[in-house]
Structures are given as structure tokens and as C-alpha cells.
């Protein structure tokens, strides 16, 4: 349904297409009808299996046919057979899926069936799955089915081999981010892995700080390269631990709970404020610079007693600049500005 160009074929071309399609429709309808007859009669035989292959090759989103195929396998080939035969049957299923996947890299049902095969197999090769999905992500680094599948495979492999894959998966996101700073999927994945990494490595305060500072370096490199890409800025905001969503997350326990003292917090905020200010000098119209400064300054204000009026005034100036720069989202900046002016009025 997505991204198919609208064409205006001539009446003749349309007639020709319909004629050609008529045969295909007839064949397809026959296949489906025969398959449903088998299904209704609960005939889980090889003919039925072949029918499902033929239908799914044309239409991998036909979920009922996948369900029927699994029933055929469960009540036929996979029943009362040796482990070896079982392995072989499901391995050929994986090959079939592989072929379908090439043509339909975004079908939920193909991934569902793949998971079922591996979970039903006596000896699933999780390592091979990881390699495979790595290749898929090379072709399309943002395919979220593929990222989901990767997150599904790694704990299985980790469990099977009794080794943690957190570091290697973390490194995988580094590779992806270095290939493209705009790979939001990789930044996201990193936000999931960093807290686990810290926990697993049992880092002391100093080591932890070093690791997190390295993250700040990476994210800085990213937004210096492309200040207009939201990905790095969101990661930066998360790293700072400003958003209220952070307050319940693991990250919070790991970073804040380990009692970064108020003075350290202020130091961190000021350091980052300076980093972003420098970039703003180079990119005076960068809306994400301005927004990040607003977030950082707002927190700095709650941490320091002096200069809050000055900070508020600066935030209001930034809001005004944003209203001019980012025409599509002026109301958001107006809301932000009203919040500040309202609190100023209340304090006086």
C-alpha cells in the first residue's frame, strides 16, 4: 500500500493488464480455495503444505496460511520424527523464509514464523541468526523489524553461550553511529545498553565517569557534524538526565544515585552549556542548540540560587529567537516562554 506511484495508463494498457491479471487471479483464487478446503477438513498433508508454500510466496502477509502451515508441520513432519529430521525440516523452513524476506523485508509474519521455527528447532544456530540480521542492517540500517529481531536474538545467543553480549552489542551501535550520526535506531539501542553495561562491568565511580564522558564526546562529535539532526540532541538530553522519564530509569540509579553531588552536577551542566554555546556561535540559527541551552539553563537555575533572573531573561531571548527561526513550531516556544514569564510574575 505504501509508495506506489499513481500512473495513468491508457485504456488499452489497462485492458491488457486486466486480461493478464485475470489469469493470475484465477490461479491465485484456486490455490486459496484448495488450501482452505484442506484446512476445513483438517487435512494436514503434503499437498496442503505445498499449497501454503505457493500462496505465501505470493502473499507473505496472509497470516491464516502461516498458521495452517505450522499446524501442518506440527501434526505431520515434526510429529514422531528424529531430532535430526526435525532440525532438517525447520532448517528448510528458514531457507524458505530467507527467500521470502528478500522480497518483503518488512513483513511481521515472516519474522514471527522465523522465531517459531528457531524456538521449535532442537539446535537453533543463534550465531548464524545474528550474522544474518547484521547483514540486513547493512542494507537498511533503520529497518525496525531487523533491530527488533536483533534484540530478540542476542539474549538467546547469550544464554546459549553463557557469555554477555552487552559490550559487543554496544560496540555494534558505535559502528552504526560512526557510519551515520543520523542512525536514530542505533542511538536508541545505545540508550538501552549503556545502563546495562555499567551494571555488568561493576565500574567504580571514576571508571563510570570516564565512560559517560566518552559518551558526551561521541554525542558532541555527532551534533557538531550535523546540528540539524534531532537524534544526537535527544541522546544528549537523556545523557544529562534532564527529562522526567529518566528519574525512574536505570540510568538514573546508575548516574544520579551514585550521588553526583550538587556541585558536580552544576559543573557538568556548565561544561555542557559551554559546549553548546560554542556551537551556537558557529551555527547561530541552530534550533536544537537553542533548545538544548534552554533545557540546560533551566536545570542550572534550579540548582543555583543566584542569577535566576538573568537565566530567565536569556531563556526568554532564546524562545524569541526560536519563534523566528522555526516557524512550524512557534506555539511550542510560546508555551515555553509563557511558562517562564508566569513563574517570574509569581516570584515577584
Partner 1 sequence: MDTSEKQTRLLVDLHVKYIQSLDTKKDDLEYWLTEHLRLSGVYWGLTALDLLNNVDALKKEDVVKYVVSCQHDNGGFSGHIGHDPHLLYTLYAVQILVIEDALDAVNVDKIVEYVASRQDRDTGAFTGDEWGEIDTRFSYCALSCLSLLKRLDAVNVSKAVEFIMLCKNFDGGFGNSPGAESHAAQIFCCVGALAIVNSLHLVDADLLGWWLCERQLKNGGLNGRPEKLEDVCYSWWVLSTLSILGRLHWINREKLIEFVLTAQDSEGGGIADRPGDMADVFHTLFGLTGLSLLEYPDLKPVDPVYCLPKHVVQRIGLAERYHHKEFQ
Binding site for partner 1 (CB under 8 A): 1-6, 8, 18, 21-22, 24-25, 28-29, 32, 36, 40, 58-59, 61-64, 67, 70, 108, 112, 116, 142, 144, 147-148, 151, 182, 184-185, 188-189, 191-192, 229-231, 234-235, 237-238, 243-246, 249, 291, 327-329, 331-332, 335
Which lies closer to partner 1 via its Cβ, residue 6 or residue 135? 6
* Closest approach of partner 1 to the CB of residue 136, in Å: 15
Return the DSSP state at 42.
Answer: T
Q: Supply the minimum distance, in Å, between the C-beta of residue 26 and partner 1.
A: 10
Closer residue to partner 1 (CB): 269 or 322: 322
Nearest distance from C-beta of residue 297 to partner 1, angstroms: 16
In the complex, what is the shortest distance from the CB of residue 21 to partner 1, in angstroms, rounded to a whole number? 5
Cell of 203: 565500574
Q: What is the DSSP letter of 162?
A: T
**Minimum CB–partner distance for residue 263 and partner 1 (Å):** 26
Q: Where are the alpha helices (DSSP H) in 202-307?
A: 205-225, 230-240, 250-252, 262-282, 287-303
Nearer to partner 1, 17 or 310 (CB): 17
> What secondary structure letter does DSSP report for 179?
H
State which residue, 36 or 96, has the beta carbon closest to partner 1: 36
Residue 33 or 257 having the CB closest to partner 1: 33
Cβ neighbour number for residue 323 with a 10 Å cutoff:
17
Q: Give the residue with the Cβ less far from partner 1, 257 or 267.
A: 257
Q: Is the dihedral of CA 267, 272, 277, 279 positive or negative?
A: positive
**For residues 150 and 173, what is the distance between their CA atoms, to the nearest angstrom?**
12
**CB of 323: closest distance to partner 1 in angstroms?**
13
Distance CA 67, CA 52 (A): 10
Give the C-alpha separation, 218 to 174, whole Å: 9
| Residue 230 exposed, middle or buried by CB count within 10 Å (0-12, 13-18, 19+) | middle
Q: What does 287-310 look like in DSSP terms, one character per residue?
A: HHHHHHHHHHHHHHHHH-STTHHH
In the 8-state DSSP scheme, what is residue 122? Answer: S
Cβ–Cβ < 8 Å for 91, 122? no
Nearer to partner 1, 126 or 184 (CB): 184
CB of 310 to partner 1, least distance (A): 24
Amino acid at each position: 500500500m505504501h509508495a506506489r506511484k499513481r500512473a495513468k495508463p491508457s485504456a488499452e494498457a489497462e485492458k491488457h493488464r486486466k486480461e493478464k491479471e485475470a489469469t493470475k487471479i484465477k490461479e491465485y483464487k484456486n490455490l486459496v480455495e484448495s488450501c482452505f478446503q484442506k484446512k476445513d477438513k483438517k487435512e494436514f498433508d503434503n499437498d496442503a503444505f505445498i499449497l501454503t508454500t505457493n500462496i505465501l510466496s505470493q502473499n507473505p502477509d496472509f497470516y491464516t496460511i502461516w498458521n495452517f502451515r505450522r499446524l501442518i508441520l506440527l501434526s505431520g513432519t515434526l510429529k514422531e520424527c528424529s531430532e535430526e529430521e526435525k532440525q532438517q525440516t525447520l532448517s528448510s523452513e528458514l531457507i524458505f523464509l530467507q527467500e521470502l524476506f528478500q522480497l518483503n523485508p518488512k513483513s511481521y509474519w515472516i519474522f514471527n514464523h522465523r522465531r517459531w521455527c528457531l524456538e521449535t528447532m532442537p539446535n537453533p544456530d543463534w550465531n548464524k541468526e545474528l550474522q544474518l540480521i547484521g547483514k540486513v542492517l547493512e542494507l537498511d540500517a533503520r529497518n525496525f523489524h531487523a533491530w527488533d529481531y536483533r534484540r530478540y536474538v542476542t539474549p538467546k545467543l547469550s544464554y546459549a553461550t553463557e557469555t554477555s553480549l552487552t559490550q559487543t552489542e554496544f560496540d555494534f551501535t558505535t559502528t552504526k553511529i560512526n557510519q551515520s550520526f543520523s542512525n536514530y535506531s542505533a542511538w536508541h539501542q545505545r540508550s538501552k545498553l549503556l545502563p546495562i553495561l555499567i551494571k555488568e562491568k561493576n565500574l567504580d565511580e571514576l571508571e563510570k565517569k570516564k565512560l559517560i564522558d566518552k559518551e558526551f564526546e561521541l554525542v558532541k562529535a555527532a551534533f557538531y557534524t550535523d546540528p540539524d539532526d534531532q537524534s544526537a540532541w535527544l541522546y544528549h538530553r537523556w545523557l544529562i538526565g534532564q527529562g522526567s522519564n529518566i528519574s525512574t530509569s536505570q540510568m538514573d540509579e546508575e548516574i544520579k544515585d551514585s550521588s553526583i553531588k550538587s556541585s558536580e552536577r552544576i559543573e557538568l551542566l556548565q561544561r555542557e552549556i559551554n559546549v553548546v554555546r560554542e556551537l551556537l556561535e558557529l551555527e547561530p540559527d541552530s534550533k536544537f542548540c537553542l533548545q538544548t541551552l534552554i533545557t540546560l539553563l533551566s536545570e542550572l537555575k534550579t540548582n543555583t540560587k543566584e542569577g535566576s533572573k538573568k537565566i530567565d531573561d536569556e531563556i526568554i531571548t532564546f524562545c524569541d529567537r526560536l519563534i523566528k527561526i522555526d516557524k512550524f513550531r512557534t506555539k511550542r516556544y510560546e508555551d515555553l516562554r509563557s511558562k517562564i514569564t508566569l513563574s517570574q510574575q509569581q516570584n515577584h
